[in-house]
Structure 1
Amino acid sequence: MPRTLFSRLRALLILLPVFLLTSCSQSTDWGFPEGVSSVNDASLSLWQGAWIAAGVVGVFTLILILWPAVFHRGKKDGPEFPKQTQYNVPVEVAYTIIPFIIVAVLFYFTVERQNIITEKTDTYAHEITVEGFQWSWQFGYPEAGEKAVVTGTPTQPPTLVVPLGERVRYTITSNDVVHGFWIPAFMIQMQNLPGVTNELEFTANKLGEYPGRCNILCGRNHSQMLFTVKVVTPAQYDAYLETLKGSNA
């Protein structure tokens, strides 16, 4: 192998971990915290497994690319064209079957986890309505009355207050265009569709504040369609509902 080529490959191998580690944080869960919501518990292992599968396929593909580039390079004293080969049936069959198996396995586990995440029950403790509009959010708390709503603006994003450890059903709608109700830390996303009512149930399991946003391009101020999720204790949540009742009395 020429010295210059060897030096380039060695530099690439040295720099590769640097690029991979630049996006790492103190989290050990591959970009998503563990146990923040009931959805995390169901989908985090799927997320990690998908990345493992992608990594294996990526490394194998990289080897297939680099191997001929390094070991089958044209030689100065060699023929103008290397030996040409065609129709390797076993390889072509393998290239067809292996991707099919990978996709089928990922599809199976995705559907399985999706059914768990979108399951509706009769045991939820609270209900909150989530309406998206250009370009903010309105959160309603039916337990505190029909007028108990929190409406945001692009310059003043609203806060979605939810109780710790209690299952909440979210009724998700839109009054204009398609929006995306997304809480990254909770690994939750569901579309707000005009004329369609979607429902989602989950439990918040850690106190704190978490950013939320619209993740579907919905117009000029899409980037300002933000909100904050604030997870509080059940007692604080009950007090918050009483505050909403008082402010709308």
Structure 2
Amino acid sequence: MCVLRRSMTARPSGLRRVVGGVQEGVKLAHGGRRTPRLGRGGKRLAALGVLGVGALLLSGCSGSEVVRFGWPNGITPESKDMLHLWQWCVIAALAVGVLVWGLTFWTVAFHRKKAGDDSIPRQTAYNVPLELTYTAIPFVMVAVLFYFTVIVQNNVEAKKADPAVTIDVTAFQWNWKFGYRDVKFADGSDYNGFERTGSPFEFQKEEPKTDEEKHPLPDGGRSDEVRNYLNFNKIETIGSSQEIPVLVLPVGRRIEFQIASADVIHSFWVPEFLFKRDVMPFPKQQHTDDRFQVSSIDKEGAFVGRCAEMCGTYHSQMNFEVRAVSEAKFDAYIKYRSANPQAGNAEALKAICEQPLSVSTFPFQTQRSTSGSGTPSKTGDTSNTTLPNCTAAQGA
């Protein structure tokens, strides 16, 4: 019986002890041992990693897009300052988030109630050092972010006297008017294009409207001195239902925008500026800052602009284009339009060998996509707006 018992309890030669789901001692055909399998938790982590990488690949995100955390690529020094502030804000938020999420998941995973365990966990009252720590750290983080916010905001809103280019921006339902008030040319000469002030009522003729669409306009029985707050210039570009207004600007020069609305509140927004400013009627009476500057535009090309304030029926179609060109082309553009006052904006653009019409958007377009399969087929190459095989016109 003893011999029989030993033979029954002995481990068969064909079996191996199983440890952690992996059979010890089982030899594979190639002579090695079986690789330990991932546990259930490891498989989940691997699946999450694959899903994360797949989402990035399918979304077409490049490395530079990922570090911008959803913001466009800025084209002014001010936009880069704002991007850096945004990046550090997101990093700080992610750091706090990872800590909070980690502690939450750790508590759920290792301190959840177990089946059959009805005991009450050990109770703790308070921990003064810990509470002071997690009160002080957020306070320091907020104080640091506040400090850099003030620094960046002051830099973005800084205005220097005597900018190289001054643009009068007038918003009206549902389009834009751009006027060139002052320009300093590269050769040292100046151009002054201011003509007169005018009333919002002058814009009723720009876009004929039905009685239902007409806005009473912000007259309110005011005197002409108060009502005539809009600026009119000798060289202007006015948008219409047939043509997107193209605002031609030079790279490398400080530009000031003086903004006003002829009717309701609008908002001047160029995504690549990473900045927008509300456009108010009666800005002086509203006590609003109707001027802002960019120290320079760093990149040539076409950049779509939009109204970012709900302003009525056709708000989504109230687009314009910023066309950034070289300093030489800009000077030639202003001189051509000054010498040919009857020439339209498209003719002047063609005279300096630029695409005559908008290439970043078109009338009645409401799409917001600027790249990929969602890009409207009617738009052109926004990074190269030069006309091929073109010779600049005489006087341009």
TM-score range, shorter chain: 0.7 to 0.9
State the alpha-carbon separation in 2 of the partners of residues 41 and 123 from structure 1.
Answer: 23
State the alpha-carbon separation in 1 of the partners of residues 137 and 164 from structure 2.
Answer: 45
Map of 2:109 onto structure 1? 70
- Secondary structure of 1:182's counterpart equals strand
Greater RCO (Cα-Cα under 8 Å, separation 6 or more): 1
- Secondary structure of 2:321's counterpart equals strand
**One-letter code of the match for 1:104?**
A
Q: Could you tell me which of 236, 242, 255 is aligned with 1:168?
A: 255
Q: Could you tell me which of 7, 11, 25 is aligned with 2:62?
A: 25
Map of 1:213 onto structure 2? 306
Q: Is the 8 A contact 1:148 1:248 kept in 2?
A: no
Alignment of 1:61-210 (within 5 A): 61-79=100-118, 87-142=126-181, 143-145=192-194, 146-153=233-240, 156-196=243-283, 197-202=289-294, 203-210=296-303
Structure 2, unaligned stretches of length 5 or more?
A: 1-38, 182-191, 195-232, 284-288, 344-396
1:49-96, Cα deviation, whole Å (9 max, x unpaired): 222212212222221221112222221122287556565554444443
- Which structure has more helix as a fraction of its residues? 1
Q: Is the 8 A contact 1:155 1:224 kept in 2?
A: no
Using the TM superposition, give the Cα deviation of residue 205 of structure 1 relative to its aligned residue in structure 2, in angstroms.
Answer: 1.5
Q: Is the 8 A contact 1:157 1:228 kept in 2?
A: yes
Map of 2:326 onto structure 1? 233
**CA 1:118/1:194 → structure 2, altered by over 3 Å: closer, same or farther?**
same
Tell me the TM-score normalized by structure 2.
Answer: 0.55
Q: Is residue 2:344 matched to residue 1:247? A: no
**CA 1:5/1:131 → structure 2, altered by over 3 Å: closer, same or farther?**
same
1:110-129, Cα deviation, whole Å (9 max, x unpaired): 11111111111124111001
State the alpha-carbon separation in 2 of the partners of residues 27 and 160 from structure 1.
Answer: 28
**One-letter code of the match for 1:187?**
L
**CA 1:147/1:20 → structure 2, altered by over 3 Å: closer, same or farther?**
same
Asked which structure has the greater CA Rg, the reply is: 2
**One-letter code of the match for 2:237?**
V
- Secondary structure of 2:249's counterpart equals strand
State the alpha-carbon separation in 2 of the partners of residues 95 and 153 from structure 1.
Answer: 57
State which drifts further: 146-155 or 209-218. 146-155
**CA 1:135/1:25 → structure 2, altered by over 3 Å: closer, same or farther?**
farther
Structure 1, unaligned stretches of length 5 or more?
A: none
**One-letter code of the match for 1:161?**
V
**CA 1:117/1:63 → structure 2, altered by over 3 Å: closer, same or farther?**
same
Q: Is the 8 A contact 1:144 1:244 kept in 2?
A: no
**CA 1:76/1:179 → structure 2, altered by over 3 Å: closer, same or farther?**
same
**CA 1:114/1:175 → structure 2, altered by over 3 Å: closer, same or farther?**
same
State how many pairs are aligned.
246
- Which structure has more strand as a fraction of its residues? 1
State the alpha-carbon separation in 1 of the partners of residues 175 and 135 from structure 2.
Answer: 46
**CA 1:26/1:75 → structure 2, altered by over 3 Å: closer, same or farther?**
closer
State the alpha-carbon separation in 2 of the partners of residues 48 and 186 from structure 1.
Answer: 16
State the alpha-carbon separation in 1 of the partners of residues 118 and 150 from structure 2.
Answer: 53
**CA 1:113/1:154 → structure 2, altered by over 3 Å: closer, same or farther?**
farther
Map of 1:40 onto structure 2? 79
